[in-house]
C-alpha cells in the first residue's frame, strides 16, 4: 500500500490518500473515515492502527471506489511526505561495497563498523520540486539515491529480529550533497544539510507491502543517462542490524528517518567528476516504491 500527501491542482488544501492498485487514482483518507483527517504525516504514523492498515489495504485493491472521494493521478500534485523532520535524518555512509570502492576508501573486513552521520532537513523537497544549488558556495552538486526507512513507534535497544515491528514504511530519498563543502569542513554535515538538499517521496510504502527481507532494484538517472544501478540486497549493513545497533544507545521515535546508503555511480565517483548543473533533471528509482524526480534550479 502506497500512502501519499498531495494537493489537487484545483485546490491548495493538503490531503492524505492511498494510491489505488491500478495506480491511476488516489483515494482521499478522510473520505474513508473522518478520523483519518490528518494534519501531518507524523500524526498519520502515530494514529493508524494495524486494523486501519488492513482496512486501507483492502480499499486500495478494491474495484468499488464510488463511495469515496477519488482523484485522478494526473490531477494532483504529490508533496513530500515530510516538510521537515523533528530530528536530523540519520544516514549510513558507504553502505554499498561498490560505492566504497569508487570513493577509494580502504576497509578492514575483519573489523568494520558502519559509518553513521546526520543531515539537517528543515526544508525537504517533494517530487518535481527544484533543488536550490547554492552555487555561491557550492561548485560540486551531487546526487545519491537511497532507500529511506521511516520509524513507526518509539524503540530503545531493539533486537534485530524485532526491528520490523518498529518500522512504519519506506520511501525514496535523494541525499543531495555539496562535495566541496564536505571537503572544506572535513565532515559531511554542512555539505549535506543546505536548504533543499533532501528530497523524499513520492510515496510511503507501508511495511506490510514490503516485508523483510527484500531485494529491490535501485537506480538514478541524470538527464536520462543511467548513473547508479544496484540492489538493496547489496547493502553491507542490512536494515535490521542498522536499526538495532543505532537503538542500543539512541531512542528512535515515530517519524525518524534512517537513510540506508547509496550505491556506485555518484558524480564524484567519475574521473573527471560529473556533477549536476542548472536545468539538470535527476530521477531516483526504487522498485515497488516509484520514481522521485527533481530539477536543479
Q: What 8-state DSSP symbol labels residue 10?
A: T
Rounded to 5, what percent of the chain is helix, strand, coil? Answer: 25, 35, 40
Q: Which residue has the cell 555539505?
A: 191
Shortest CA distance to 181 belongs to which of 133, 243, 228?
Answer: 133
pLDDT computed for residue 111 by the predictor: 45
CA distances (Å), origin 127, targets 16, 104, 173, 252, 285:
15, 32, 10, 27, 12
Could you read off the pLDDT tens digit of each residue along the chain, which spans 297 residues? 999 999 998 888 999 999 999 999 999 999 999 999 999 999 999 999 999 999 999 999 998 899 999 999 999 999 999 999 999 999 999 999 888 788 765 555 544 678 999 999 999 999 999 999 999 999 999 999 999 999 999 999 999 999 999 999 999 999 999 999 999 998 899 999 999 999 999 999 999 999 999 999 999 999 999 999 999 999 999 999 999 999 999 999 999 999 999 999 999 999 999 999 999 999 999 999 999 999 999
Cell of 234: 547489496
Cell of 85: 523532520
List beta partners, residue 131: 296
Q: Which residue has the cell 576497509?
A: 107
Distance, CA of 58 to CA of 206 (rounded, Å): 13
pLDDT computed for residue 104 by the predictor: 65
List beta partners, residue 4: 17
Whether residue 213 has a cis bond before it, omega within 30° of 0: yes
Cell of 25: 487514482
Half-sphere exposure of 90 (CA within 13 A, CB side): 21
Tell me whether strands 89-93 and 257-259 are parallel, antiparallel or unpaired: parallel
What is the domain partition of the chain in residue ranges?
2-78, 89-296
Shortest CA distance to 151 belongs to which of 87, 197, 201, 232?
Answer: 87
- Reduced to 3 states (helix: H, G, I; strand: E, B; else coil), residue 88 is coil
- Torsions phi, psi of 215, nearest 5? -130, 110
> CATH number of the domain at 89-296, please?
3.90.850.10
Beta strands in the chain (DSSP E): 2-8, 14-19, 25-28, 70-72, 76-79, 89-93, 115-119, 124-125, 130-131, 141-142, 145-151, 167-175, 177-178, 198-206, 217-222, 225-231, 257-259, 281-286, 290-296
pLDDT computed for residue 108 by the predictor: 54
pLDDT computed for residue 102 by the predictor: 80
Amino acid at each position: 500500500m502506497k500512502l501519499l500527501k498531495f494537493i489537487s491542482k484545483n485546490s491548495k488544501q493538503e490531503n492524505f490518500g492511498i494510491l489505488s492498485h491500478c495506480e491511476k487514482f488516489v483515494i482521499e483518507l478522510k473520505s474513508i473515515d473522518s478520523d483519518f483527517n490528518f494534519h501531518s504525516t507524523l500524526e498519520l504514523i502515530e494514529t493508524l492502527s494495524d486494523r486501519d492498515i488492513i482496512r486501507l489495504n483492502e480499499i486500495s485493491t478494491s474495484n468499488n471506489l464510488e463511495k469515496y472521494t477519488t482523484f485522478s493521478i494526473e490531477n494532483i500534485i504529490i508533496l513530500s511526505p515530510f516538510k521537515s523532520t523533528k530530528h536530523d535524518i540519520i544516514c549510513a555512509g558507504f553502505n554499498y561495497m561498490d560505492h566504497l570502492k569508487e570513493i577509494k576508501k580502504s576497509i578492514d573486513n575483519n573489523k568494520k563498523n558502519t559509518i553513521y552521520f546526520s543531515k539537517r532537513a528543515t526544508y525537504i523537497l517533494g517530487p518535481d520540486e527544484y533543488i536550490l544549488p547554492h552555487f555561491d558556495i557550492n561548485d560540486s552538486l551531487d546526487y545519491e539515491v537511497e532507500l529511506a526507512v521511516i520509524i513507526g513507534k518509539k524503540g530503545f535497544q531493539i533486537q534485530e529480529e524485532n526491528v520490523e515491528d518498529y518500522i512504519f514504511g519506506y520511501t525514496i530519498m535523494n541525499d543531495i550533497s555539496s562535495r566541496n563543502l564536505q571537503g572544506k569542513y572535513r565532515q559531511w554535515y554542512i555539505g549535506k544539510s543546505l536548504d533543499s538538499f533532501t528530497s523524499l517521496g513520492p510515496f510511503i510504502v507501508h511495511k506490510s507491502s514490503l516485508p523483510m527481507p527484500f531485494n529491490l532494484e535501485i537506480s538514478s538517472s541524470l538527464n536520462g543517462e543511467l548513473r547508479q544501478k544496484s540492489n538493496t540486497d547489496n547493502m553491507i549493513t542490512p536494515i535490521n542490524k542498522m536499526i538495532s545497533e543505532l537503538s542500543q544507545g539512541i531512542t528512535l521515535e515515530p517519524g525518524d528517518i534512517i537513510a540506508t546508503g547509496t550505491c556506485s555511480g555518484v558524480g564524484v565517483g567519475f574521473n573527471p567528476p560529473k556533477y549536476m548543473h542548472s536545468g539538470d533533471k535527476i530521477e531516483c528509482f526504487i522498485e515497488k516504491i516509484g520514481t522521485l524526480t527533481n530539477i536543479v534550479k
